[in-house]
């Protein structure tokens, strides 16, 4: 480096608030449909793509820049999940033509959800080193994927109901965690507690 050159390093802001808000928003609208408070998939698709997908993927990229493996992994995996779910809904609705719509087999969702349950259990274990708000979100994500897996394989209405209420709970805790992260960082102190890690 020459004598007059300056090495400027830009530290990106913490993207957790964006990612958690995206997760909270998409699970709110999706759970409203599962619980029968709203009907249809058409207006869920843009929220799944932009809030569930893009918001979490942006958070994923910036967490990679911050060398935050946990945030990058979780936001990336769940962000891509919601984009894939939106595309699957579009297939079901016939957006890509009748041939793809006719080949829609809900049991394949069961396989997908079971795969996501497996990786979510590992992410939950990793969250034990962070805070209780994230642990709670991930435990209910585990319940969500377990319920959706069982429901997709035709194991009964109970599992779909479990998934719906788990998804709504994810949303509520997600909004709290997003707000707590925002206020705590802006004010430089803990205004809203997120809970201590279980494993140090």
- Locate the domains of the chain by residue range: 16-187
**Cα 194 from Cα 63, distance rounded (Å):** 19
Q: Is the pLDDT of residue 133 over 80?
A: yes
Q: Average the pLDDT over 3-10 and give the result.
A: 64
pLDDT single digits (tens) 7-35: 666 777 899 999 999 999 999 999 999 99
Q: Is the pLDDT of residue 173 over 90?
A: yes
For residues 33, 36, 42, 48, the Cα torsion angle rounded to the nearest 10 degrees is: 0
Burial (CB count <10 Å: 0-12, 13-18, 19+), residue 122: exposed
How confident is the model at residue 11, as a pLDDT?
77
**Cα 60 from Cα 33, distance rounded (Å):** 27
DSSP strand E in 15-94: where?
Answer: none
How confident is the model at residue 101, as a pLDDT?
83
To 5 degrees, how large is the angle CA 146–CA 21–CA 172? Answer: 55
Q: Is the pLDDT of residue 122 over 70?
A: yes
How confident is the model at residue 2, as a pLDDT?
56
| Percentage of residues of the chain with pLDDT beyond 70 | 96
The model's pTM is 0.91
Q: Is the pLDDT of residue 106 over 70?
A: yes
């Amino acid at each position: 480096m020459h004598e007059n050159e300056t090495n400027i390093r830009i530290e990106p802001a913490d993207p957790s608030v964006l990612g958690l808000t995206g997760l909270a928003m998409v699970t709110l609208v999706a759970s409203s449909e599962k619980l029968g408070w709203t009907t249809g998939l058409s207006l869920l698709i843009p929220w799944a793509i932009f809030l569930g997908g893009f918001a979490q993927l942006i958070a994923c990229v910036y967490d990679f820049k911050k060398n935050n493996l946990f945030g990058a992994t979780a936001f990336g995996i769940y962000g891509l999940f919601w984009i894939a779910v939106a595309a699957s809904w579009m297939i079901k609705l016939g957006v890509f033509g009748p041939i793809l719509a006719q080949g829609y087999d809900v049991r394949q969702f069961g396989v997908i959800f079971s795969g996501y349950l497996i990786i979510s259990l590992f992410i939950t274990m990793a969250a034990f080193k962070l805070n209780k708000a994230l642990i709670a979100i991930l435990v209910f994500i585990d319940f969500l994927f377990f319920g959706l897996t069982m429901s997709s394989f035709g194991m009964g209405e109970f599992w779909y109901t479990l998934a719906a209420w788990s998804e709504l709970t994810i949303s509520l805790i997600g909004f709290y965690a997003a707000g707590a992260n925002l206020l705590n960082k802006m004010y430089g102190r803990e205004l809203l507690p997120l809970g201590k890690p279980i494993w140090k």
